[in-house]
Structure formats: C-alpha cells, structure tokens
C-alpha cells in the first residue's frame, strides 16, 4: 500500500508499505538496508548519493536552530548510537549497524550553517538515515527504507501511510456560525503541485490486493428479500453473497 503526499514547499513524496512473501531474517537485514556511509573508492556513485541525500542535519550541538529540534532534543532521535552489528530493537525497528571510525566506519566533513556562519563538522554513521543501496542508486534521491517486525510498528506505519493533513486552526467564533467551506480551506494547504496532480487524476493512494468486505453469515443463513414478483425465482436460485463467492 502507498500514499502520496506533499510537503509545504510543494514537493511530493510517497509512503510505501510492503509485506514480503519470504520473511526477512535478522541476518539478511544488512544485505538490504544500510545506515552507513559507503566507501568512496569502492562505490563513488552511492557515496555521492548518501552523503548528499541521506544525512540528517546534523542538528543538536552542531545546529541548535534546526527545524527538527524541540526542547533541546532532535525529534527524529539523531544522532543514533553506534553499533558494531545490527540487533533487534524494542520498538519493532532494528538497531542498524553503524560502525564507528575506529571500527572501519566512514566519515566525511560537512559544512553546516550556524549563527549565519558556515562551520565544518565531522559527520559519521550516527547521522545516516537508513536506506537501500539498490533503491538509492536507482532513483538517486532521498529514499528512507525501514524494516518493521512487530505489530506495533506495522500499525503505526499503516496509520502514517493513511494520515491526513497536518495543519490545524483554532479560534473563538460565534457558536451559531458554521461555515464548513471556510473551515476546510483554513485547515488544509494545497500546493500548486498537488493541485495539478489532482486535476490530472493521477493516483494518490493504492492498496493491493484490494481489501473486500465479506458479508459473514452461517451456512444457508444468508438473507434473501422476497417480493410478489421474485419469490419463486429467489426460492429456486438464492443470490450469491461475497463470502459464498470467496469460498
């Protein structure tokens, strides 16, 4: 299932959830998802994509005025802890391998704007957003990939994929005034890109396979409505229900 939404700057991005037919084992995660800076000599293309598109911030002490900072802490929980191996987490998401520079982990120098001045900081694997090397090289853009292995994380992802607008407006008004059109316009921001997307009827969300509601009933207990004109026909050939067709 997927859902396309737009940022306040008008840039579209998609939230996609995939259920894998073959279960991914913990020892397979590193071959699919990485949270490390790749070797520049071995794969210069991937190194360029990761260092330009998959670095969070850096924020915190490097940039306290970053948009992700709230009450002195990063809302995205960066920087992440350094770990030598990928291990299972307590919230349904694994702690991806993030090797330190002392353990052959890579690092780069990055220019960060702080107090109207540019400062050079050292960025290591603690600041890398998890990604899939294959997808990153295919699309050459920011593409966050996560592995979910608990019902709590799947419920959250389903909610996140189907979430609505994140803008809210409140105020004091006449209790007898109820202008629903104005409320809707004030509570939602539609960029020009989203407007064009909707005018051309491009797909915004999809779920496959489609979930179909089945009318559950006991065997030979489905409801049949009779009239004077169809009583004999319904008695001989009762209409099929969704659960009968499915079974």
Q: What is the mean pLDDT of the chain?
A: 85
What's the pLDDT score for residue 164? 65
Greater pLDDT, 9 or 4? 4
The confidence band for 126, taking pLDDT boundaries of 50, 70 and 90, is very high
pLDDT in tens, 180-201: 887 777 767 788 888 999 999 9
What's the pLDDT score for residue 247? 65
Greater pLDDT, 217 or 144? 144
| Long-range contacts of the stretch 82-90 (C-beta < 8 A, 24+) | 82/124, 82/125, 82/126, 86/26, 86/29, 86/30, 88/26, 88/149
Q: Does residue 69 have a pLDDT over 80?
A: yes
- Angle (CA) 21-141-204 rounded to 5° is 60
Q: Does residue 167 have a pLDDT over 70?
A: no
Q: What integer is the mean pLDDT of 46-53?
A: 96
pLDDT in tens, 55-64: 998 999 888 8
What's the pLDDT score for residue 216? 80
How many Å apart are CA 168 and CA 236, to the nearest integer?
57
Please give the C-alpha separations between residue 131 and each of 25, 55, 234, in angstroms, as whole numbers: 17, 11, 58
Residues 58, 112 contacting (CB under 8 angstroms): yes
Percent of the chain with pLDDT over 70: 94
What's the pLDDT score for residue 104? 93
Query: What is the SS3 assignment for 29-44?
Result: HHHHCECCCCCCCCCH
* Tokens coding 244: 């009968």
The DSSP-derived string for 154-223 is HHHHHHHHT------------TT---HHHHHHHT----HHHHHHHHTT---EE-SSPP-------TT---
Q: Does residue 176 have a pLDDT over 90?
A: no
Q: What integer is the mean pLDDT of 74-99?
A: 90
DSSP 131: B
What's the pLDDT score for residue 73? 93
Strand partners, 122: 109
Q: Does residue 170 have a pLDDT over 70?
A: no
- Range among 120-129, 156-165, 212-221 rated most confident: 120-129
- Angle (CA) 64-70-76 rounded to 5° is 90
What's the pLDDT score for residue 166? 59
């Amino acid at each position: 299932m997927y859902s396309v939404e737009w940022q306040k700057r008008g840039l579209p991005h998609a939230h996609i959830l995939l259920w894998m037919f073959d279960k991914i084992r913990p020892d397979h995660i590193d071959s699919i998802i990485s949270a490390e800076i790749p070797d520049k000599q071995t794969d210069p293309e991937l190194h360029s994509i990761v260092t330009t598109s998959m670095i969070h911030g850096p924020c915190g002490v490097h940039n306290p005025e970053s948009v992700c900072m709230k009450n002195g802490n990063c809302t995205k929980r960066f920087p992440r802890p350094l770990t030598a191996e990928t291990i299972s987490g307590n919230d349904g998401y694994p702690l991806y391998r993030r090797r330190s520079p002392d353990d052959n982990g890579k690092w780069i120098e990055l220019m960060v704007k702080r107090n109207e001045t540019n400062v050079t900081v050292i960025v290591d694997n603690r600041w890398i957003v998890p990604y899939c090397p294959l997808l990153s090289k295919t699309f050459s853009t920011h593409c966050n990939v996560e592995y979910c292995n608990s019902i709590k994380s799947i419920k959250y992802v389903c909610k996140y994929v189907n979430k609505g607008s994140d803008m809210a407006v409140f105020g004091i008004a006449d209790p007898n005034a109820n202008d629903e059109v104005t409320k809707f316009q004030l509570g939602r921001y539609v960029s020009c890109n989203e407007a064009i997307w909707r005018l051309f009827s491009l797909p915004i969300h999809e779920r496959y396979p489609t979930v179909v509601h089945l009318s559950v009933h006991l065997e030979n207990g489905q409801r049949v409505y009779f009239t004077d004109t169809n009583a004999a026909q319904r008695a001989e050939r009762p209409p099929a229900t969704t659960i009968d067709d499915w079974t």
